[in-house]
Amino acid sequence: MHVPQSHPRYHSLITREKLAQAFRNGLVVPEGLIAHGRGECFDYILGEESRDFAIEAERAAVAMMILANHPVISVNGNAAGLVAEEISRLSEVLSAPLEVNIFHRSEERVKRIAEELEKHDAIVYCRGDAVIEGLESARRIVDRRGIYRADVVLVPLEDGDRCEILKRNGKRVIAIDLNPLSRTSRMADVTIVDNITRAVPNMIEFAKEMKDYGMEELEKIVLRYDNREILRRAIKAIIEYLESRSGEL
C-alpha cells in the first residue's frame, strides 16, 4: 500500500503497514496486532510525541543499562516487526545482547525473529535452555547466557506477569509501554511511556552521549529517578491533553 507522506496519520499508517507485513512474514501473531491497537490508542491521547517524562525515563534506562553487569534486551514479535534495525543498533551501543522471548511460542517463530535481527548483525540469544521460576507462560523459557543471568532487562511491550517474576528473580526491569496504567508499567523499575518506534531511536542517541559519562554521574541519574512520579506525570499529561481537546470544541 502506498501512503502519501502528506497524510495526517502518515507515521501511524506506516507503522501499521510494517506490522501487517511482519504478520504476513510470520514474525507477529494476530494477538500482537491487537496489542498494538491498544498502544496506538494511548499514543493518540498522549499527542504522538516523546513527552518529557518519556525522555527522562529513556535517559534513566540508558544509565541503568550502562551501569549493569549483564544487560539484556528482550525482543518479541512486535518489537522485531517494528524496530529490528534500531534495536540491533541499541544492542550494539549498549553492549547488551538481544534475546528472543515470546508469549505465543513456536520454534519456527523464534527462528524467524532471530533471523530478522541477525540481518542487522545483532548478537541474538534464543536457545531456550533455562527456565525462570514462578511463571507458567512460555515466556518462562529463556537463554542461560541472556535473561537467565541478566541483572537488568529491557522489556519492550511486556506483559505484567513476567515483569513481576523478573523482579522477583532479582532483576531490574525497564519497560516500554504506552499504557501508564498497565500492571507492567506499575511493576517496572523504569517505565518508558512512549511508542517503541520513537523510544528506541531516542535511546540510541542518549546511549552514544552517555557512554562517556562517569560512573558517579550515571548513578546519580538512576538514584534521582522516581518511576511513580513519572507515571503520575504521564497520566496527568493524558488528562491535560484531553481537556485541551475538549476545550477546542
**Strand partners for 155:** 175
**What do you get for the CA distance between the two ends of the chain, in Å?**
34
Does position 210 bind ligand ATP by CB under 6 A? Answer: no
The enclosing H or E element of 153 equals strand 152-156
By C-alpha distance, which of 191, 211, 238, 199 is closest to 79? 199
Per the CB < 8 A criterion, the answer to whether 177 and 191 are in contact is: yes
Is 183 an interacting residue with respect to ligand ATP (CB under 6 A)?
A: yes
- Cell readout for 154 is 529491557
179 binds, among ligand ATP, Mg ion, none (CB under 5 to 8 A by kind): ligand ATP
Would you say 175 and 188 are in contact if contact means Cβ atoms under 8 Å apart?
Answer: yes
130 DSSP 8-state letter: E
Which CB, 39 or 77, lies closer to ligand ATP? 39
> Of 60 and 163, which has the nearer Cβ to ligand ATP?
163
Main-chain phi, psi angles of 166, to 5 degrees: -60, -40
157 binds ligand ATP (CB under 6 A): yes
Q: Are strands 71-75 and 152-156 parallel, antiparallel or unpaired?
A: parallel
| Position 39 contacts ligand ATP (CB under 6 A) | yes
Under the binding rule (CB under 6 A), the answer on residue 227 touching ligand ATP is no
Give the bridge partners for 156, in sequence order: 176
> 199 Cβ partners below 8 Å, 6+ apart?
50, 54, 58, 156, 176, 192
Of 120 and 183, CB closest to ligand ATP: 183
Indicate whether 179 belongs to the interface with ligand ATP (CB under 6 A).
yes
Q: Which CB sits closer to ligand ATP, 66 or 155? A: 155
Measured from the CB atom, is 36 or 112 closer to ligand ATP? Answer: 36
Q: How many residues in the shown chain lie near ligand ATP by CB under 6 A? A: 17
Neighbours of 220 (CB within 10 A): 13
Q: Which residues within the stretch 155-184 sit at the binding site for Mg ion (CB under 5 A)?
A: 159
CB of 140 to Mg ion, least distance (A): 15
Contact between 196 and ligand ATP by CB under 6 A: the answer reads: yes
Determine, following the binding rule CB under 6 A, whether residue 79 of this chain makes contact with ligand ATP.
no
Task: Check residue 36 for interaction with ligand ATP (CB under 6 A).
Answer: yes
Q: By three-state DSSP, how is residue 212 classified?
A: coil
Interface with ligand ATP by CB under 6 A: which range of 90-98, 120-128, 129-137, 182-190? 182-190
Contact residues toward Mg ion (CB under 5 A) are 159
Contact residues toward ligand ATP (CB under 6 A) are 35-36, 38-39, 42, 157, 159-160, 176-179, 182-184, 195-196
